[in-house]
């Protein structure tokens, strides 16, 4: 059977027509909570000791006393589902405000706050699950900005070192989740997403768990 350019073009146009018939745009939002590792306070102690006490053990070795509280997370997103298996999605997210405290047990104490926001785009792969669900996996790029304060105390020195910081950058992100179509226009989704950031030459791993919904056009 001879395959001509005209046949290939006709098949491609047929594919596009079928894809367009299944395609859908959607918008949505979700709420949840974000977690940072390592904590900014823990990291500031490690950096301080690396500069002022070279060779001293860091918080990966020491049994550092640490505590943290995180207030919420919010994400707004909009996407275009090309077919049942793929979508392109843009998002803007607030990764919460993290307050942390750490003490290395050797005279260095730190308190820190971190406020992080991000904006990005991702490719979303979907595996349909009967009757109305789809398992999701995403990979994308996000541009982030962060600001906060670090209050560092060394009991061997007088006073405290207080600093404000602001950083921004771009890195890859990823996530997994479950999408459930409730009807023709509404869907519910549960997601865990991973947003790495680099601040002051240190890498922070931020994971955010959210529950939300989407409206399909």
CA 142 to CA 217: how far, in whole Å? 26
Residues of the chain below pLDDT 50: 1, 15-16, 19
Q: Look at residue 61 in the predicted model and tell me its pLDDT.
A: 59
pLDDT tens, residue by residue, 111-131: 899 899 999 999 999 999 988
Strand partners, 80: 25, 88
> What integer pLDDT is reported at residue 208 of this predicted model?
95
Write down the pTM of the prediction: 0.80
Give me the residues paired with residue 167 across strands. 146
Residue carrying the six token digits 């680099």 = 198
Identify the DSSP state of 84: T
**Paired tokens of 197:** 């950031």
- Sort 30 into a burial class: Cβ within 10 Å, 0-12 / 13-18 / 19+: buried
Q: Is the dihedral of CA 214, 32, 96, 168 positive or negative?
A: negative
Tell me how far apart the alpha carbons of residues 144 and 86 are, in angstroms, rounded to a whole number.
25
What's the confidence (pLDDT) of residue 153? 84
Question: Could you give the residue ranges of the DSSP H alpha helices within 23-175?
Answer: 40-52
List the domains of the chain with CATH numbers: 25-216 (2.40.160.20)
3-state secondary structure of 54: coil
pLDDT for 120: 95
If one counts every other C-beta atom within 10 angstroms of the C-beta of residue 213, the result is 15
Radius of gyration over every alpha carbon of the chain, rounded to an integer in angstroms: 23
Q: CA-CA distance, 71 to 208, in Å (whole number)?
A: 12
Q: Are 112 and 82 in contact (CB under 8 A)?
A: no
State residue 195's pLDDT score: 96
């Amino acid at each position: 059977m001879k395959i001509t350019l005209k046949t290939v073009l006709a098949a491609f146009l047929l594919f596009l027509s079928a894809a367009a018939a299944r395609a859908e745009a959607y918008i949505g939002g979700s709420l949840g909570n974000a977690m940072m590792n390592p904590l900014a306070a823990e990291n500031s102690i490690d950096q301080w000791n690396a500069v002022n006490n070279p060779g001293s053990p860091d918080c990966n070795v020491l049994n550092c006393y640490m505590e943290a509280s995180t207030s919420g997370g919010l994400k707004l997103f909009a996407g275009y589902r090309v077919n049942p298996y793929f979508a392109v999605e843009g998002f803007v997210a607030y990764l919460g405000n993290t307050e942390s405290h750490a003490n290395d047990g050797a005279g260095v104490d730190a308190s820190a706050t971190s406020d992080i926001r991000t904006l990005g785009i991702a490719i979303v792969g979907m595996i349909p699950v009967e009757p109305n669900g789809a398992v999701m996996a995403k990979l994308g790029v996000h541009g982030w900005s962060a600001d906060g304060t670090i209050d560092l105390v060394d009991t061997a020195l007088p006073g405290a070192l207080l600093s404000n910081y602001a950083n921004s950058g771009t890195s890859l992100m990823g996530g997994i989740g479950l999408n459930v179509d409730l009807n023709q226009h509404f869907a519910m989704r549960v997601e865990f997403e991973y947003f790495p950031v680099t601040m002051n030459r240190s890498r922070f791993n931020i994971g955010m768990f959210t529950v939300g919904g989407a409206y399909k056009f």
